[in-house]
Structure 1
């Protein structure tokens, strides 16, 4: 039987990204079977130090770095030095994908633009994750997740709900744009399968985040210049887990069938005839009253009792998890997404959530130590022992 290695097995990704947005994209590619070579500067990816306290026996292996860099290999290159340039060009010539979240000026100064690398390898898919789309007034400006959350409307959505602008407690736009970048790279690889040619792919953070927000909350402005913004079911302080007798519960009863089941479960089937609640449109127009009713009735029973009762009426409902209880969730444990890593005392790991019936998935590997695979990568690139010794003896290439 052919080993199941993932749908992207055989694809080599040259990963010149750091922090979160780029590593999110390359993590997805790695988890689907691509060989990802993570190129780090001599000081390492900033997230090795910024992403939490690393164990004493594993410096540079912060928790966040570990979770965003699984299944990758690491080599350290000083791309400003001739030795680093020599290796990166050879890597580009043998790779299928190049990914970077450097600003355009930095890419140009290092000779890593699409024009430069496609001359070495016309089949290369060259992906640049930028703060802003090229050609606009923000082109080339620095961008981080908080900048993009504030500029794109994410923080404004939270202001509507909680009364003041706030950033989501995730590097949310980094995650979103990283996922989009992985999808765009796969689309370019599909195109290459037909044409035999690579192409440049630009994935801007701001424009993608703004589209994400507006597709959800452009609301009536879509049709009316004076219309209101937002989905009222979401843009309300009442859209939250509801208190029960002994905790909290998450309930979604949006369709007419779900509303009918909900009213039956709470012993008030006649509410389906109430003009405020009798249809999707009526419940949307009276969302405050609908949410208030739900919040009041949930206090009458405990969470587990409500979950069982609502499920019997085919109403989507699940307990609320804290971060601590999430670690004990039987679904996460049962599906194998949250694991105790073998040979790593007290280390919780995250593994593939998605499944592919035909190609399977590669075995999950821990994130690499800085420069861990340098000698193996140089060997694969055809460097002779003396050349490897010369390069590895330099502090610029480890």
Structure 2
């Protein structure tokens, strides 16, 4: 487990990474947008997170669970490290004026308001681009800035349903299922980050900023991947296959003597090794098993034939035997087993940070491993408004009296 710096560190000046020196005005909340901006922060950018006075990001209230001995939700803590929390009421003219002043010092604005919502406050891209021609403005919404669905709100489960993945997920005779984590939000955030990095490269070459239009439904359709292509190639809706692979067999879960295992036989030579090692040589002479294409066409027969074979050993026995033959396999882990896994631990996928409450909090690490400029963990997820005085005083030069006056009016 990695240990990061404490809450007193000045991560604006101590930042390292490939995005060091960039400053992001973060008007995002919940998951898709904060995923995008946390990635930028991990890579060295300074993130100024704008939150509503008193209420803050919606996910501060998405609890239980809370981080032990704090008032912070686990949900919020998961996607808001390396950010400074500044409270500003953008619905009020003085709050809007503060945002404009902050933008004078920022390279990127990220937001995930409904289409047109920020324009009501004079903060839409078309209203800002003349004044800030170098500004990179990333908008993440449910359905993008154009098209008949553009005004609709977007929610992860809704996008999973409309984007097709629910029709592909679940048992053949069961009901459609969503993925157990909010993948539509997460992919939208990561695609937003990719768009920002591309726009930065363009700006470095030309000096021109631009708007990035990320629609969750668009990104969802994009990652339908082989299943989307299966449909485009055949015109037929792929069926739900449970844990089976649409193009490879056997590639699925099997019951063992004491649980379950994933068996991933990726090609014909691997299937031949499996059959010869475990007393199934006769299958190699059967045309229904001879090639991957024939096994896919006879997937139920493959499942029925191999199930009693797989039930003859424990999961641990199978993993030891299969790994020795370099045949893909793995246990179906609980999250307790995931975080206890020696490989996950060796890869430092959990980071411990010192929270402003004084408590040490564990967060899931950034998976991007860069040899020269790795992600850094400079500041824990902030408490609401933790950096308002620091940013308004240090960046905008406002006096304590001016900041106090804004706070008295409910602006900050």
Q: 1:11 aligns with which of 10, 22, 33?
A: 22
Moved more, 308-317 or 334-343: 334-343
Pairing partner for 1:241 from 243, 253, 256? 253
Q: How far apart are 1:219 and its partner, in Å?
A: 5.1
Question: Can you give the 5+ residue segments of structure 2 that lack an aligned partner in the other structure?
Answer: 1-13
Which residue pairs with 1:144 in the alignment? 155
Distance 1:269 1:94, change over 3 A: farther
2:193 alignment partner in structure 1: 182
Is the aligned partner of 1:391 residue 2:406?
yes
How far 1:22 moved relative to its partner? 0.8
Aligned runs of 1:307-318 on 2, under 5 Å? Answer: 307-318=319-330
| Distance apart, 1:224 and its partner CA | 4.2
Give the aligned partner of residue 346 of structure 2: 334
Residue 58 in structure 1 maps to residue 75 in structure 2 = no
Conserved 8 A contact 1:92-1:117: no
Of the three residues 261, 275, 293, the one matched with 1:263 is 275
Q: For residues 196-251 of structure 1, what are the alpha-carbon distances to aligned partners after superposition, in whole Å with 9 as ceiling and x for unaligned?
A: 111011001112213323x33235542444x4535964359x96532211222222
SS in structure 2 at match of 1:354: coil
Aligned equivalent of 2:36, options 25, 37, 40: 25
Task: Tell me the residue number matched to 2:7.
Answer: none
Which shifted more, 337-346 or 109-118? 337-346
Counterpart CA distance in 2 for 1:332 and 1:97 is 33
CA distance in 2, matches of 1:90, 1:235: 53
Say if 2:98 is the partner of 1:71.
Answer: no
Alignment partner of 1:41 is 2:21: no
Per the TM alignment, residue 16 of structure 1 is displaced from its structure 2 partner at its CA by 0.5
Distance 2:228 2:29 in 1: 32
Match of 2:377 in 1: 363
SS at 1:161 equivalent: coil
TM-score (norm 2): 0.87
CA shift in 2, pair 1:358/1:159, >3 Å? closer
Superposition deviation, residue 311 in structure 1: 1.1
Matches of 1:352 and 1:74 in 2, distance apart? Answer: 21
- Is the alpha carbon distance of 1:9 and 1:314 closer, same or farther for their aligned partners in structure 2, counting shifts above 3 Å? same
Q: Distance in 2 between matches of 1:220 and 1:57?
A: 50
CA contact (8 A) 1:261 1:310 kept: no
Judged with a 3 Å threshold, the aligned counterparts in structure 2 of structure 1 residues 255 and 285 are, in CA distance, closer, same or farther, namely same
Structure 1 match to 2:391: 377
What per-residue deviation string (whole Å, max 9, x for no partner) do you get for residues 164-222 of structure 1? 13332222211111111111111111111111111011001112213323x33235542
Q: Tell me the equivalent position of 2:10.
A: none
CA contact (8 A) 2:251 2:266 kept: no
- Counterpart Cα distance in 1 of 2:229 and 2:238: 5
Once the two structures are TM-superposed, the CA of residue 298 in structure 1 deviates from its matched residue by: 1.6
Task: Say whether 1:101 aligns with 2:112.
Answer: yes
With structure 1 as the length reference, what TM-score do the two structures score?
0.90
Q: Is the 8 A contact 1:252 1:317 kept in 2?
A: yes
Backbone CA RMSD of aligned residues: 2.5
Give the length in aligned residue pairs.
391
| Paired residues of 2:138 and 2:196 also in contact (CA < 8 A) | yes
5 Å-filtered alignment, 1:266-305, equals 266-305=278-317
For residue 166 of structure 2, the aligned residue among 155, 165, 169 is: 155
Distance in 1 (CA, whole Å) between partners of 2:409 and 2:229 is 58
Which residue is 1:83 aligned to? Answer: 94
- How far 1:110 moved relative to its partner? 1.3
* Greater alpha carbon shift after TM alignment, 351-360 vs 366-375: 351-360
Residues 96 and 123 of structure 1 are in contact (CA less than 8 Å); yes or no, is this contact kept in structure 2? Answer: yes
Partners of 2:240 and 2:296 in 1: CA distance: 9
Partner of 2:228: 218
Residue in structure 1 matched with residue 3 of structure 2 by the alignment: none
Is the contact between residue 6 and residue 356 of structure 1 (CA under 8 Å) also seen in structure 2? no
